[in-house]
Structure 1
Amino acid sequence: MSIRHLSWPLAVLLSALPCLAADDGALDALAGLSAARLRLADLVAASKWHSGQPIEDAARERVVLQRAVADAAAAGIDAGWAGQVFAGQIAANKAVQAGLHAQWREAGEAPARQPDLAQEVRPAIDELNGRLLAALPEAAALRRQADCAERAAAAALRGAERQGLDALHRAALGQALAALCDAPQRR
């Protein structure tokens, strides 16, 4: 086989790299925002620990999901997909809260500070939710690609490394970003 025959496939591959890089940049941005949201889960967990509130807060989750879906629809983003993404964010956040509560029970101590959930933490979560929603269009093309799950997992690893996340937050970040991908269609 001559070099001329190799150049065409190489040219095709190289022409796809800017698209892949753009998608990965969008994933990296979403990983950073998701990691920041997961760090707020530490404050939610501390607040709920001290107040005795359960981790599960169906009413709050419903509000977050309804707002995400409505804001997505208003912005021309697939509302069903936005709901899927934010459900993943919520599930990951609850996983961090549950993990921290388990760690604190085992250690016999929790952070001394009780953050104000309504005045301090939820406004910060709401602000990040808006930024996450605004970042979704850049990753929309990726959601149906066959390698979406692998690329989301790689972005989660890069994000966790950049943010210095521990194992609990690292796993939750992977969970949150996995929700960006549509489930493969069965044929």
Structure 2
Amino acid sequence: MSDSHRSYTDLVRDFYLVFQPIVLVDPSLKSQIEDYEVLLREKSTNAFPYKDFEYIIGNNEGNSVLLQWFSAELRHVCLCMPQVKIDINLNPQQLLFDSTLNFLNNLEDLADRINVEITETPSRVASMNNATMTEKLREIVGLGFSATLDDVDSGDNNLNVVTQSAPILIVSSSHCLHLMANRLHK
């Protein structure tokens, strides 16, 4: 085992998951939990591990270690709570690695319970353009997952990606949905 692999494993051991309920409120103000957004946290700070996360997803090897752990955690939750639907976040950078497709293939049997949200984080890789993003979204949806662009109009999730990918995804931004509705009515 390489030193970097051991380092990635040690970092991931400090992570845990938080399940934030997404509540649907109808016009009569009745509410129910629609699903849960899965949030990554580190034990030492109880916050998102920005620095360690960026380091780990910097290459396929680190991303693979993280996603193997993540897959095991998600399977455990889905086994313990068989009716729960969850939203997982993937950084656009992760879409460029084979380990991410392997992760999704491994969870394909749970695809009807998992929505994949692509975060707005700007990609550090020049090869992540709108066409590449659309191709990756098609792969995710092709495996049976639903896909969402998170916080459209910030970071890499811009209106060009939305218009190219519209038939295959859900958009997470009331601002963007309003813009799209206005555009359709013109």
Sort the TM-score into its range (normalised by shorter chain): 0.3 to 0.5
Q: TM-score of the superposition, structure 2-length normalised?
A: 0.33
* Structure (1 or 2) with the greater helix fraction: 1
* Structure (1 or 2) with the greater strand fraction: 2
Q: TM-score of the superposition, structure 1-length normalised?
A: 0.33
Which structure would you say has the larger RCO, counting Cα contacts within 8 Å and 6 or more residues apart? 1
